[in-house]
Chain A
Amino acid sequence: MSDIKEAQKALVSRILAGDGNASPSMRRAAFNNSDLPEPLNLLVNKVAMHAHTVTDDDINAAKRSGLNEDQVFEIVVCAAIGQATRQYDAAIANLEIVTKKD
């Protein structure tokens, strides 16, 4: 059986609390898909909700807003992991509810 929970915690801890070029508060906001100014809000929301619609302009707008490429890299990674984590955690929580009752 596979168990990714420890690996997932380590990954999330690394991207949010470890060293980075973007500030921890900005990485956290990207992870949570909240509290970011435009144009980062648009980019992060697209990554979280419909990543296939991200365009060159979205990435270029983030860079024009003052972020360097390493910061954009980190913000996008945090946004993707944040949304996947919310989905996974919610599904696991419901699995635990159902299997405890059963």
Chain B
Amino acid sequence: MRLEILDNGHGFSTKVLFALIKMISRQPVLDVVKLVKYRPDFYGGPMSGLTQEAMREPSSWSVADRELMAALVAKTNQCEFCTKAHSAVAQRAYGNEKNVSTLLSEPETAAIEEPLRSTLLMLRKLTREHKLTTEDIRSVLAAGTSRQQIEDALSVCYSFNVIGRLADAFGFRIPGPETFESGAKYLLSRGYR
């Protein structure tokens, strides 16, 4: 990472926690974990609560759908770390039902139900262009998406438009697929807190 404090500036108890994580998971501690555990009163604490709300609290979008949205926002921002991390979570959550790589590459034509497709395209436009028009919103509603579903999707988009920027600005190390798989298991069983 580009800031030494994010790699090594944690307090003693957090360093013990990192040692435990490494021992139990047999994987390196992900840089996103190092970030949220650094001075958690400033960023990590409130952001983790917000992300848990967006990604795991009840919604008519499934956990898998929300992880797919997170991966799409990350891919649109060209954030390699978050794209790989949340593609792994979404694929694990969908199982054989959907192919996440295909959905991310071709959301316009992939075999998915319409509310999800129109919502993915809306999030991609917001992330890419930084704004949506009222016509954009109307077309998503016309595709059968509820107001609440749009709001829930915008919450996911918010979280990952923050996290992806930080991943790239701080230069998160990109680990191998086994480490992302381990992270995906953790995020599905324990969430973001």
Q: How far is the CB of B24 from chain A (nearest CB, A)?
A: 28
Q: Select from chain A the residue with minimum beta-carbon distance to B9.
A: A69
The interface size bin for chain B is 35 or more
Bound together, the chains give a CA A75 to CA B148 distance in angstroms of 33
Cross-chain contact A2 with B158 (CB below 8 angstroms) = no
Cross-chain contact B42 with A77 (CB below 8 angstroms) = yes
A81 lies within 8 A of chain B by Cβ: yes
Residues on A lying within 8 angstroms of B by beta carbon are: 1-4, 7-8, 10-11, 14-15, 18, 20, 43, 46-49, 51-52, 54, 56, 59, 69-70, 72-74, 76-77, 79-81, 83-88, 90-92, 94-95, 97-99, 102
Interface of B is mostly: helix
Residues on B lying within 8 angstroms of A by beta carbon are: 2-6, 9, 38-39, 41-43, 46-47, 49-50, 53-54, 57-60, 77-79, 126-127, 130-134, 136-138, 141, 147-148, 150-152, 154-155, 157-159, 161-162, 164-171
A-B contact count (CB 8 A): 146
Chain B residues with CB under 8 Å of A72's CB are 3
Chain B residues with CB under 8 Å of A83's CB are 130, 161, 165
Q: Select from chain B the residue with minimum beta-carbon distance to A80.
A: B165
Cross-chain contact A52 with B132 (CB below 8 angstroms) = no
Q: CB < 8 Å: which of A1, A52, A85, A98 contacts B138?
A: A98
Q: CB < 8 Å: which of A1, A4, A87 contacts B58?
A: A1
Cross-chain contact A1 with B148 (CB below 8 angstroms) = yes
Bound together, the chains give a CA A59 to CA B158 distance in angstroms of 24
Q: CB < 8 Å: which of B4, B46, B169, B171 contacts A47?
A: B169
Cross-chain contact B166 with A80 (CB below 8 angstroms) = yes
Bound together, the chains give a CA A90 to CA B162 distance in angstroms of 16
